[in-house]
Structure 1
Amino acid sequence: MAQLITGVSRTFDEFLLLPNLTRSDCSPATVDLRTPLVRHTTAETPPIELHSPVTSAVMQAVSTPGLAIALARNGGLSFLHHNQPIADQVSAVRQVKAAETDTDDPAPTTRRDGTGGPDGERFPKRLVDVDGRLRVGAGINTHDYRERVPALLQAGADVLCLDSSDGYSDWQAEALTWVKKNYPEIPTGGGNVVDAEAFSFLAEAGADFVKVGVGGGSICITRDQKGIGRGQASAVWDVAAARDAFRERTGAHVPICSDGGLVHDHHLALALAMGADFVMMGRYFARFDQAAGAKLATHEGFVKEYWGEGSNRARNWQRYGQGGRELVFEEGVDGFVPYAGDLAEGLALTLAKLRSTMVSCGSTTLAEFRSNARLTLVSERSFQEGHANVPLREGTAAL
């Protein structure tokens, strides 16, 4: 007989944050959005910290070299997709790592801490390595990692991420074990998972961060096709508790990444309040100029193409084209998202909202936010109450 997990599978839309006391020292200008990207002990400084708690998805439609450059310049990190020949992914990594010298100044004076120089002045929150080069991540799979990983390291990749819609598997543990044995210097994340048991499995196997979320992406139809998944809020909450228990038991903090289920800007705040160290977004970044999808005109405005890695369009040979497996059904779809212009402008607005939310919750750091946040469940009636209920003026539009 199947085991029934008690409790309702909940989404971010079912929660609101309650305001806490806003102290006199708490303002958007004092909010610090730095957060650990990879495993570290509680006694040490994280080897890599994000300056903005956002990463872009391991997807063809999202993480181009151009988007990786733009996001790193604004404090986040992209994971360049691996559904391509190794040489092509290596070339993409090298484009990002070389971007720092692509300035108007033929001899930029960037210091090793990443400050100074033309780019350092224009992008003070940029995420750089010890040599002042933009940081970039790369996706890998459980098939050709023995050839792909060393090539990506040689190209300068800062962090790797095993990409799978379901990471609770022997194959992912074997890949993590191999990378940790042969290339212990490269941080490598695992996932995706939705519960404590799966988190512990990957953390014990050596994962340097764990992605949380199955079936919650806007382009994903895994739950429709396979009946597998969990509401993103419940998944993050459960895995965050497991992360904290693992830290208490071992002294190692293994960050978790909320991947999927983020429909509105305020969902970012909810994911972080519920325990995520950072988030990964696909649809959000697919809207910007720097993403891969074509920009198309419609009678309602411009849109960008967007497609899932489990869709027929992606033709993801690394998931379905090896070992006799073929794509007999899709776990993603092909669609469009509203065009949103330049990444820097859009992300600045989203992060401004996050800072404002944190201030209302009496927090100036993400650790404080996770510790002090108070949440309440939302009824259908109170959900409707929270939306504008007057006619909009002509010429305005709801988001």
Structure 2
Amino acid sequence: MIIENDLKLDFKDVLIRPKRSTLESRNDVDIERTFRFVHSGLEWTGFPLIAANMDVVGTMAVARALSRFGALTALHKHYPAESLIPFFRDEDTANVFYSLGTTEADYDKFQAVKAKAPVGKLCLDVANGYTERFVRVIGRLRQENPDMVIMAGNVVTGDMTEALVLAGADIIKVGIGPGSVCTTRKMTGVGYPQLSAIIECADAAHGLKGQVCGDGGCTVPGDISKAYGAGSDFVMLGGMLAGHDECEGDIRYEERGGQKVPVAMTFYGMSSDTAMHKYAGGVASYRASEGKTVEVPYRGPIDGTMQEIMGGVRSMMTYIGATKLKEVSKRTTFVRVGAQLNTVFGG
């Protein structure tokens, strides 16, 4: 048994210290980034935000909507091949990841889609990115798809980040347990504070010219700013993008003034009892549910939320004098705090 005494931090533990700046307006900053990926050699430019590959959020409608903002979507892996083929063949999918797990069924479906439609980006997603099998699958996919961008995870430590980059991943997905509908930490006791995970994994990946995607833990736009400040190249969101018209959760209606109006939408983790009953017929005898099912407020079109997120990032950049998003991590100084918000009039 080993105890690490080094301080590890989450988003709630810090604020970003402002700095003197010559910027005069939020309109003066550039929130796009350009990456050339280390293995595929492909180049991408846009706002580095990714909708999570959860079946409520990682939808084709969300992908179309976020593309208008230059942001990305990782489609959930439960779309059938007959839906994926026309989507990747007929739509502009420059900002879309095809998602898959490590089963042979996932691999076979991917091969069927790839044979009939151009797929440029892969999201290889498992809850535990520390297995040797996962490393082998990355190597296999890289060998067979040298020109594809591969994002893989999830991990939370620098050593495994390096291993996955060396195996063939361009982007490493960082986060175990921080998601709003993830109960892995509660059920297993395993996890890592998300801000420190991003800092350590980004340092490891950047040394090999790879990128990282902070996955989970963001609850407000300021958390996204902190993730970029910590070195995250991309930020993946689930709960913050749930509840919108473009999502696929069940909607609950209430009668108001003689009319039924939408008030809430279901949102659940992909290791929840809900998801496993939906896709696997129930929770397997050898495992437990590691996710929960909740209702989030119905929020209408996703455009309003994206405007809030992008506006918050722009404002953060003016506070620290960062003209370009790529400068943010170099201009960020975190201040440890005991409390972040004045909640006298509510949370």
Using structure 2 for the length normalisation, give the TM-score. Answer: 0.89
With over 3 angstroms needed to count, the CA separation of the structure-2 counterparts of 1:388 and 1:369, relative to structure 1, is: same
Equivalent position of 1:73 in the other structure: 68
Find the residue that maps to 1:313 and give its secondary structure: helix
Equivalent position of 1:294 in the other structure: 250
With over 3 angstroms needed to count, the CA separation of the structure-2 counterparts of 1:298 and 1:10, relative to structure 1, is: farther
When the two structures are aligned, how many residues end up with a matched partner? Answer: 340
- 2:97 counterpart letter in structure 1: G
User: Residue 303 in 1 paired to residue 295 in 2?
Assistant: no
Find the residue that maps to 2:47 and give its secondary structure: coil
Give 1:97 deviation, angstroms: 5.3
With over 3 angstroms needed to count, the CA separation of the structure-2 counterparts of 1:241 and 1:223, relative to structure 1, is: same
With over 3 angstroms needed to count, the CA separation of the structure-2 counterparts of 1:349 and 1:37, relative to structure 1, is: same
In 2, the alpha carbon distance for the partners of 1:270 and 1:140 equals 29
Equivalent position of 1:22 in the other structure: 21
Equivalent position of 1:353 in the other structure: 312
Equivalent position of 1:114 in the other structure: none
With over 3 angstroms needed to count, the CA separation of the structure-2 counterparts of 1:256 and 1:316, relative to structure 1, is: farther
Q: Percent identity?
A: 26
Equivalent position of 2:97 in the other structure: 137
Equivalent position of 2:165 in the other structure: 203
With over 3 angstroms needed to count, the CA separation of the structure-2 counterparts of 1:146 and 1:271, relative to structure 1, is: same
Give 1:8 deviation, angstroms: 3.1
- 2:18 counterpart letter in structure 1: P
User: Residue 314 in 1 paired to residue 275 in 2?
Assistant: yes
What stretches of structure 1 of length at least 5 have no aligned partner?
A: 100-127, 247-252, 392-397
With over 3 angstroms needed to count, the CA separation of the structure-2 counterparts of 1:377 and 1:299, relative to structure 1, is: farther
Find the residue that maps to 2:276 and give its secondary structure: coil
Q: Is the 8 A contact 1:56 1:62 kept in 2?
A: yes
Find the residue that maps to 1:9 and give its secondary structure: coil
Give 1:52 deviation, angstroms: 1.4
Find the residue that maps to 2:334 and give its secondary structure: strand
- 2:298 counterpart letter in structure 1: Y
In 2, the alpha carbon distance for the partners of 1:139 and 1:229 equals 23
With over 3 angstroms needed to count, the CA separation of the structure-2 counterparts of 1:265 and 1:293, relative to structure 1, is: same
In 1, the alpha carbon distance for the partners of 2:285 and 2:70 equals 38
Give 1:5 deviation, angstroms: 2.4
Q: Is the 8 A contact 1:96 1:134 kept in 2?
A: no
Give 1:80 deviation, angstroms: 1.0
CA RMSD of aligned residues (A): 2.7
Equivalent position of 2:87 in the other structure: 95
1:43-82 residue pairs with structure 2 within 5 A? 47-82=42-77
Using structure 1 for the length normalisation, give the TM-score. Answer: 0.78
Q: Is the 8 A contact 1:97 1:134 kept in 2?
A: no
With over 3 angstroms needed to count, the CA separation of the structure-2 counterparts of 1:326 and 1:65, relative to structure 1, is: farther
Give 1:18 deviation, angstroms: 0.6
Q: Is the 8 A contact 1:97 1:136 kept in 2?
A: no
With over 3 angstroms needed to count, the CA separation of the structure-2 counterparts of 1:316 and 1:238, relative to structure 1, is: farther
In 2, the alpha carbon distance for the partners of 1:316 and 1:366 equals 41
In 1, the alpha carbon distance for the partners of 2:139 and 2:277 equals 24
Equivalent position of 1:121 in the other structure: none
With over 3 angstroms needed to count, the CA separation of the structure-2 counterparts of 1:137 and 1:326, relative to structure 1, is: farther
Q: Deviations over 1:140-163 (max 9, x none)?
A: 111125423333334232200111
Equivalent position of 2:330 in the other structure: 371
In 2, the alpha carbon distance for the partners of 1:3 and 1:200 equals 22
Equivalent position of 2:196 in the other structure: 234
- 1:185 counterpart letter in structure 2: D
With over 3 angstroms needed to count, the CA separation of the structure-2 counterparts of 1:232 and 1:48, relative to structure 1, is: same
With over 3 angstroms needed to count, the CA separation of the structure-2 counterparts of 1:327 and 1:66, relative to structure 1, is: farther
With over 3 angstroms needed to count, the CA separation of the structure-2 counterparts of 1:260 and 1:38, relative to structure 1, is: farther
Find the residue that maps to 1:40 and give its secondary structure: coil
In 2, the alpha carbon distance for the partners of 1:134 and 1:173 equals 26
With over 3 angstroms needed to count, the CA separation of the structure-2 counterparts of 1:62 and 1:160, relative to structure 1, is: same
Q: 1:185 aligns with which of 147, 152, 155?
A: 147
Give 1:98 deviation, angstroms: 2.8
In 1, the alpha carbon distance for the partners of 2:269 and 2:6 equals 30
In 1, the alpha carbon distance for the partners of 2:103 and 2:309 equals 37
Q: Is the 8 A contact 1:296 1:302 kept in 2?
A: yes
Q: Is the 8 A contact 1:27 1:364 kept in 2?
A: no
Q: Is the 8 A contact 2:74 2:123 kept in 1?
A: yes
In 2, the alpha carbon distance for the partners of 1:79 and 1:302 equals 26
Q: Is the 8 A contact 2:51 2:241 kept in 1?
A: yes
Q: Is the 8 A contact 1:55 1:77 kept in 2?
A: yes
Give 1:201 deviation, angstroms: 1.1
Equivalent position of 2:259 in the other structure: none
Q: Is the 8 A contact 1:302 1:338 kept in 2?
A: yes
In 1, the alpha carbon distance for the partners of 2:78 and 2:277 equals 6
- 2:129 counterpart letter in structure 1: G
With over 3 angstroms needed to count, the CA separation of the structure-2 counterparts of 1:34 and 1:317, relative to structure 1, is: same
Q: Is the 8 A contact 1:305 1:337 kept in 2?
A: yes
